[in-house]
């Protein structure tokens, strides 16, 4: 079918829209990018079907593709849907699973892999069955709005993961155009900024109540109770403690070296062990049956992620969380101790300062932190019954 365009015109046309007839158009962008588009009406609504780049698809082929599409329309078929069936455009769910599989080698632990999967399955469920090339800004907003103000941190992670999946789809040729989950210059005009949303805090026990709480823990003959006390005394994260191996312990130097792959900041962290922390390890060493310090029921596996949480529930101290004890430590260090803030932050394995400052800060101040952790352990040591303070719960900040 002869049209209005010529091969020469296709190559030299400046920015604009050019009709070849039969609703086939050459679209030339401001940067000179050229693409073919077929316009048609489907069930009363205007549609556009991309037929490829004019650089790769010559005029004669574009006309043939347009003719094939028009024949499908005449038979009552949507050419866009038919192409998806033949080209194998994946759904968002299929693409998300593929991306997670590709990225999993770089994840720090199994928990991170599980979270990547579960957050998208839970909060982006409305997207999973949609072909990746049909997902729009409205679709993304429909997934994010229900949790954007109530679960701010989770919502922010979900948005980033949706963006990554759609970027991967574009890289594989399944999508064109801008990413509808992009934040800067797009969703930041449609949703409140995350910094202005109330962040979720981990409920924490007031540090004054810790001696009485630890006294209660020591009455419970369970590995989970020892793990929880050790977690409190080292101000470590639960994943760092539960994954701890005997090979990471140096009893002579009283240190525990956590490898980078188990640290949130992705860098090795040395932990000075207080006398009580060492005593806990010596107690477990006598019962050693696994490479893991806090061994679980399954052979050569650690305690489950829920073990310390369940121990907390059994102590009936309200909705206190394991992570919240890090806040208890920080509050004690700031309100009671005289240790410098940077020593406390280093003990919490927080990254301090910008990259330039980090380059100069080569020492991890182990000796100073050892004094800090001994002072913390001494504070947490159970007092006499007469001086014990009833346990109550407060929110961390």
Same domain, 79 and 121: no
Flag whether 29 is in a domain: yes
78-82, 87-91, 201-205: range with lowest mean pLDDT: 201-205
Q: Give the count of alpha carbons within 13 A of 388, CB side only.
A: 13
Q: What is the mean pLDDT of residues 156-177?
A: 89
pLDDT of res. 77: 82
The model's confidence at residue 181, banded by pLDDT at 50, 70 and 90, is very high
Higher pLDDT residue, 372 or 389? 372
Same domain, 375 and 278: yes
pLDDT of res. 242: 92
Same domain, 230 and 329: yes
Flag whether 341 is in a domain: yes
Same domain, 216 and 330: yes
Q: What is the pTM of this model?
A: 0.52
DSSP structure string for 60-93: HHHHHHHHHHHHHHHTT--HHHHHHHHHTPPBHH
CB atoms within 10 A of CB 66: 26
Same domain, 116 and 184: yes
Task: Render pLDDT for 277-309 as a digit per residue (tens, 0 to 9).
Answer: 999 999 999 988 899 999 988 888 898 878 888
Same domain, 190 and 328: no
99-103, 106-110, 151-155, 296-300: range with lowest mean pLDDT: 106-110
DSSP structure string for 180-249: TT-TTTTGGGTS--GGGSPPP--EEE-GGGHHHHHHHHTTS-SHHHHHHHHHHHHT--HHHHHT-BGGGE
Residue among 191, 131, 206, 133 at smallest CA distance from 158: 191
| CB burial readout 338-376, b (16+ within 10 A) else e | ebeeebbebbbbeeeeeeeeeeeeeebbeebbbebbbbb
Residue at a domain's end among 159, 178, 196: 196
Total residue length of the chain: 397
The model's confidence at residue 191, banded by pLDDT at 50, 70 and 90, is very high
Task: Render pLDDT for 366-385 as a digit per residue (tens, 0 to 9).
Answer: 999 999 999 999 999 998 64
Flag whether 358 is in a domain: yes
Flag whether 65 is in a domain: yes
CATH number of 283's domain: 1.10.443.10
pLDDT of res. 214: 94
Residues β-bridged to residue 131:
91
Q: What is the mean pLDDT of residues 9-21?
A: 93
Q: What is the mean pLDDT of residues 303-318?
A: 85
Residue 106 belongs to domain spanning: 92-196
CATH number of 192's domain: 1.10.150.130
Higher pLDDT residue, 262 or 197? 262
DSSP structure string for 255-300: EEEE-GGGSTTSS-EEEEPPHHHHHHHHHHHTT--SSBSSB-SSTT
Q: What is the mean pLDDT of residues 197-201?
A: 47
CATH number of 59's domain: 3.30.160.390
Task: Render pLDDT for 226-259 as a digit per residue (tens, 0 to 9).
Answer: 999 999 999 999 889 999 999 999 999 999 999 9
Higher pLDDT residue, 85 or 174? 174
Using the predicted structure, report yes or no on whether residue 186 has a pLDDT greater than 80. Answer: yes
Same domain, 387 and 266: yes
Residues β-bridged to residue 19:
25
pLDDT of res. 254: 96
Same domain, 212 and 349: yes
Using the predicted structure, report yes or no on whether residue 196 has a pLDDT greater than 70. Answer: no
Pull the structure tokens for residue 148. 């954007």
Q: Is 31 helix (H, G, I), strand (E, B) or coil?
A: coil
Flag whether 2 is in a domain: no
The total domain count for the chain is 3
Contact indicator for 289, 295 with CB cutoff of 8 Å:
yes
Residue at a domain's end among 21, 52, 87: 87
Angle, helices 366-380 vs 223-234, to 10°: value is 130
Same domain, 154 and 216: no
Same domain, 97 and 180: yes
Flag whether 1 is in a domain: no
pLDDT of res. 198: 44
pLDDT of res. 382: 92
pLDDT of res. 36: 95
The model's confidence at residue 87, banded by pLDDT at 50, 70 and 90, is low
Task: Assign residue 284 a region (left: φ > 0; alpha: ψ between -120 and 50; beta: otherwise).
Answer: alpha
Same domain, 253 and 331: yes
Alpha-carbon distance of 221 to 266, in angstroms, equals: 34
Using the predicted structure, report yes or no on whether residue 267 has a pLDDT greater than 70. Answer: yes
Residue at a domain's end among 62, 87, 112: 87
Same domain, 43 and 122: no
Task: Assign residue 390 a region (left: φ > 0; alpha: ψ between -120 and 50; beta: otherwise).
Answer: beta
């Amino acid at each position: 079918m002869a049209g209005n365009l010529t091969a020469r015109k296709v190559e030299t046309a400046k920015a604009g829209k050019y009709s070849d007839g039969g609703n086939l158009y050459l679209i030339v962008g401001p940067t000179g990018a050229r693409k073919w588009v077929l316009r048609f009406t489907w069930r009363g609504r205007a549609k556009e079907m991309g037929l490829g780049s004019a650089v790769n698809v010559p005029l004669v082929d574009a006309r043939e593709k347009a003719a094939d599409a028009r024949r499908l329309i005449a038979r009552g078929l949507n050419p866009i849907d038919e192409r998806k069936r033949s080209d194998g455009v994946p759904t968002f769910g299929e693409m998300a699973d593929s991306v997670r599989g590709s990225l999993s080698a770089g994840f720090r632990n199994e928990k991170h892999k599980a979270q990547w999967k579960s957050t998208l399955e839970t909060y982006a469920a409305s997207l999973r069955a949609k072909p990746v090339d049909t997902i729009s800004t409205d679709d993304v907003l429909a997934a994010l709005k229900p949790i954007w103000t109530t679960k701010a941190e989770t919502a922010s992670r979900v948005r980033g993961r949706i963006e990554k999946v759609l970027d991967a789809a574009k890289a594989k040729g399944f999508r064109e155009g801008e990413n509808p989950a992009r934040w800067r210059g797009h969703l930041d005009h449609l949703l409140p900024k995350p910094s202005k949303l109330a962040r979720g805090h981990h409920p924490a026990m007031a540090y004054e109540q810790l001696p009485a709480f630890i006294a209660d823990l020591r009455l419970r003959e369970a590995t989970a109770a020892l793990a929880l006390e050790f977690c409190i005394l080292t101000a470590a994260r639960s994943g760092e403690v539960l994954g701890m191996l005997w090979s990471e312990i140096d009893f002579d130097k009283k240190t525990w070296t956590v490898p980078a792959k188990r640290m949130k900041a992705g860098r090795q962290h040395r932990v000075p062990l207080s006398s009580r922390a060492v005593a806990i390890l010596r107690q477990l060493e006598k019962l050693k049956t696994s490479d893991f310090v806090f061994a679980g029921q399954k052979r050569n596996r650690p305690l489950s992620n829920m073990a310390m949480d369940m121990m907390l529930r059994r102590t009936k101290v309200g909705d206190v969380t394991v992570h919240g004890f890090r806040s208890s430590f920080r509050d004690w260090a700031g309100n009671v101790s005289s240790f410098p803030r940077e020593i406390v932050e280093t003990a919490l394995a927080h990254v301090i300062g910008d990259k330039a400052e980090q380059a100069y800060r080569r020492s991890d101040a182990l000796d100073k932190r050892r004094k800090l952790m001994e002072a913390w352990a001494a504070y947490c040591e159970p007092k006499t019954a007469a001086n014990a303070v009833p346990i109550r719960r407060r929110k961390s900040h």
